[in-house]
Amino acid sequence: MKLIIEHSASTIRTYMITDGRSPSSTWRSFLRNHASEIYALDRTPQVMWDFSICFVLVIIDHRTHRLVPVGMTRNSTLD
């Protein structure tokens, strides 16, 4: 059984612990400020000409928005 209790924003502000710093930036501004240091990895399936599936590992460079293919395999595991 869930208890549904709603509070107003002013009540939450009264009891919220703050350390005096300004509120954190938005996700969009964080990405814009740190894009040169952020890379992401992704594994994506690719259907080949013979309808077999290969898995491609790519690195995404957030600064240039480029995909860098790293490797490909037919046997992928999710360990």
The 10s digit of each residue's pLDDT in 38-68 is 888 888 888 989 998 888 888 888 778 888 7
Q: 43 lies in a domain? A: yes
8-23, pLDDT tens digit by residue? 888 877 777 766 666 6
Q: 10 lies in a domain? A: no
Q: 47 lies in a domain? A: yes
Q: 3 lies in a domain? A: no
Confidence at residue 21, expressed as pLDDT on a 0 to 100 scale: 63
**Which H or E run contains 27?**
helix 27-34
And the tokens for 33? 């400020």
* Total count of domains within the chain: 1
Q: 66 lies in a domain? A: yes
Q: 62 lies in a domain? A: yes
Q: Which domain holds residue 51?
A: 36-74
60: nearest Cα among 44, 41, 43: 41
Q: 30 lies in a domain? A: no
